[in-house]
A = this chain, B = another copy of it.
Amino acid sequence: MTLLEALDYASVFIFALTGALVASRAQLDIVGFAFVASLTAVGGGTVRDLLLNRHPIFWIDAPGLIGTAVIAAVLVFFTAHLFESRLRVLTWLDACALAVAVPAGTGLALSLGHHPATVVLMGMVTGCLGGLMRDVVCNEVPLVLKQGELYVTAAFAGATAAVLGVHFLPQGTALLLCAAVTLILRAGSLAFGWRLPVYRPRPPRS
């Protein structure tokens, strides 16, 4: 199994956990859990593969990946009630999934030799679109759009770090750097409230 395949499996598993947690908030049955988990798990990578015209899509005829998502869904279905705050667990797992999916998308686009701007975009698409689909389908306010939290920004910074880093580092190390930058920014935003200034209709005069 290559590094990119391992990243795909890890990102599928963690995103599936978040999908199942959102399904638990919507009180679905176990097949609903598996559906939302799978959609979340493969959504971003599917869009990436469609945009890059990369067939077969990474999970078609690789039933282990969807199987992984289903296992995650079953796991959450039977254990989610053990957690004190599912929303908190969800948010942190989502941060981990982002930090795995962004290097997965970035690494793939890098190894296909695309333009640096395209590589950064593919990292952002792979990282952000699965969670976005999950939230749109389940009528949650998209995490991607929470005011003032670093989310798309963390994905952007991580992917950019990889694109720059690959000039100086081996690709595996550059992707590790990508994961670290993404996770640190996202986690810092959750834990310490790091943020960029948001748009205000009328900025206060100083």
Chain A residues with CB under 8 Å of chain B are 23-24, 26-33, 35, 38, 46, 50-53, 55-57, 60-61, 63, 66-67, 77, 80-81, 86, 114-118, 121, 124, 128, 132, 136-139, 141-142, 144-145, 147-148, 150, 152-153, 156, 195-203
14 chain-A/chain-B pairs, Cβ below 8 angstroms = A27-B147, A27-B199, A27-B200, A29-B198, A30-B197, A31-B152, A31-B153, A32-B152, A32-B153, A33-B199, A35-B124, A61-B115, A66-B121, A77-B199
A86 closest partner in B (C-beta): B201
Give the docked Cα–Cα distance between A23 and B198 (Å).
10
CB-CB under 8 A from A28, the residues of chain B are 145, 147, 198-199
Contacts A117-B67, A202-B81 given: A145-B32 contact, CB under 8 Å? yes
Contact between A145 and B152, CB atoms less than 8 A apart: no
Q: How far is the CB of A203 from chain B (nearest CB, A)?
A: 6
Which interface residue of A26, A33, A52, A203 has the most chain B CB atoms within 10 A? Answer: A26
Given contacts A27-B147, A29-B195, contact A114 B60 (CB under 8 A): yes
User: Is there contact, CB below 8 Å, between A56 and B53?
Assistant: yes
Q: By the criterion CB–CB under 8 Å, are A153 and B29 in contact?
A: yes
Tell whether, in the assembled complex, residue A51 and residue B57 are in contact, meaning their CB atoms are under 8 Å apart: yes
B199 touches A29 (CB 8 A): yes
Q: A29: nearest residue on chain B (CB-CB)?
A: B196
A116 to B61: give the CA distance in the assembly, Å.
9
Q: Nearest chain B CB to A56's CB is how many angstroms away?
A: 7
Q: Does the CB pair B145–A137 fall under 8 Å?
A: yes
Contact A156 B31 (CB under 8 A): yes
Are A60 and B118 in contact, CB atoms less than 8 angstroms apart?
A: yes
